[in-house]
Structure 1
Amino acid sequence: MNHLQLIVDDMDTSVRFYRDILGLRLVRTRDKSNYPTQRRGFNMLKNYFFDMGNGGLLSLVQIEKAEGRAEDTEPAVTGSWLWPGGRVARQPRKMDHLAFDVETHEEIVWFRDHLIEHGVEVTDIIVREHEYFVESVYFYDPNGIPLEIATFDRGNPRWEDFDPGLWFWDTDPVPAVRGE
């Protein structure tokens, strides 16, 4: 992954959460003076980037009046070369969720305890033993963005006899998967 961008309501609160609680390293900051993307109806106020490891970045962008629907587009005032048809969303939207990877079950336990210590409501650890998939905890950042911390915990003995075919459960896969 190159980067994932999340829309946030309060950059300061978000930085404190992603840097101080989740432990991501801040690697770049921008504001509207060096990122001029004023479009009708909203302005980019701040754009901060965090290192997520393995070359991936998490981009947080604070946008004035950030709300809208996917079909709401308009001609781009700036950066039209970035978007198909030169059209951009009138109002940006949030994505479903972001899952941060850790190596082991023990790290999931540590993060869950750490989040609770900082007043973050978090789920129990969800273990998917029957499907050989991730173990996870789910929670929200201060903007209400859904987050997950997950591990495959490849050191767990359950992976010794793992059959990758077990992950293909769809009995009627889409044409692209069927080779059509």
Structure 2
Amino acid sequence: MPTFTGINHLAMATGDMDATIRFWRDLLGMPLVAGLGRPGYRHYFLSISPTDMIAFFEWPGTRPLPQKDHGVPVSGPFAFDHVSFGVAGEDDLWEVKDRLAAAGFEPSEVVDHGFIKSVYAFDPNGIPIEFSASVPGTDPRRTPAMADSAPSGVTLEGPNPQPGHWPAPTPTSQDQRADYPGEGRELLRPERNAWKK
């Protein structure tokens, strides 16, 4: 199995990059670490932690989402409910709540889920967001638990990957591996860095 290191980046969309940067960088303190763009298109990255980022595409005509409360079921095509950002502890959670409230973003009360405590809100794009502090000694990544009253058979197989359900991959040989140039290579060109001019 591959070794995962976290969420490299979660890409979302905005019609107002400046308001988005003001919220994520200036209100919540996530550094803006990379920006790509040209007229009519931007793709900016903000650092959450040493291994995780969020990114936003700015596309003309993109409008904020209608607000849907976190976890409320919907029907029809749907793929994303909310994203939760981990904070180091309960004091950090209260600081986020206070910052959101002071800026008029109407955070929820602190909700105690037993293994995490959370605050819910929406960013300027209507994206449903959660901030979560782990409750010490209750990390399900270390001690998995299944409390579904009607778990499926697949679920009852346990927390670890189960072999034999997918075809075995044929490894790509070294001489067949190739990289194709993509957007972002300009970040490596010092003359393109607007912060260094």
In the TM superposition, residue 94 of structure 1 has moved relative to its aligned partner by 8.0
- Provide, for residues 26-83 of structure 1, a one-character-per-residue CA deviation record: whole Å limited to 9, x for no partner: 11001136xxxxxxxxxx611100111031110111123458xxxxxxxxxxxxxxxx
What is the CA–CA distance in structure 2 between the aligned matches of 1:61 and 1:106, rounded to whole Å?
32
Unaligned runs of 5+ in 2: 1-6, 64-77, 158-164, 166-197
Q: 1:101 to 1:174 in 2, by over 3 A?
A: same
Hey, what does 2:90 align to over in structure 1?
Answer: 105
Per the alignment, in what secondary structure is the counterpart of residue 45 of structure 2?
Answer: strand
TM-score, length-scaled by structure 1: 0.66
Shift of 1:3: 1.0
Q: Does the 8 Å contact 2:115/2:135 carry over to 1?
A: no
DSSP-derived class of the 1:53 partner: coil
Query: Aligned AA for 1:99?
Result: S
- Structure 1 residues 10 and 123, CA, compared in 2 at 3 Å: closer, same or farther? same
**Which amino acid in structure 1 is aligned with residue 48 of structure 2?**
M
The answer for the alignment partner of 1:3 in structure 2 is: 9
The 8 Å contact of residues 15 and 61 in structure 2, kept in 1 or not, is answered as: no
How many residue pairs match? The answer is 136
Residues 78-108 of structure 1 show CA distances to partners (whole Å, capped at 9, x for unaligned) of: xxxxxxxxxxxxxxx9832221111211111
Q: What does the per-residue CA deviation read over 1:116-147, in whole Å, with 9 as the maximum and x for residues that have no partner?
A: 1112111000012xxx3210000111111111
Contiguous gaps of at least 5 residues in structure 1? 34-43, 68-92
Q: Distance in 1 between matches of 2:30 and 2:20?
A: 11
1:9 Cα shift? 2.0
Match of 2:36 in 1: 30
Kindly provide the amino acid, as one letter, of the partner of residue 7 in structure 1: A
Structure (1 or 2) with the greater helix fraction: 1
**Alpha carbons of structure 1 residues 62 and 9: separation in structure 2 relative to 1, 3 Å:** same
Secondary structure of the residue that 1:48 maps to in structure 2? strand
For 1:102 and 1:5, the matched residues in 2 are separated by 20
Letter aligned with residue 81 of structure 2: D
Counterpart of 1:150 in structure 2 is 132
Alignment partner, residue 73 of structure 1: none
CA distance in 2, matches of 1:21, 1:6: 18
TM-score (norm 2): 0.61
Q: Equivalents in 2 of 1:174, 1:62: separation in Å?
A: 40
Distance, in Å, in 2 between the alignment partners of 1:60 and 1:122 is: 22
Q: Which amino acid aligns with 2:18?
A: D
Alignment of 1:85-96 (within 5 A): 95-96=80-81
1:118 maps to amino acid: A
Q: Percent identity?
A: 27
CA contact (8 A) 1:108 1:150 kept: yes
Whether 2:143 is the aligned partner of 1:164: answer yes
Give the alignment of 1:1-180 within 5 angstroms.
Answer: 1-32=7-38, 45-66=41-62, 95-128=80-113, 132-154=114-136, 159=137, 164=143, 167-179=145-157
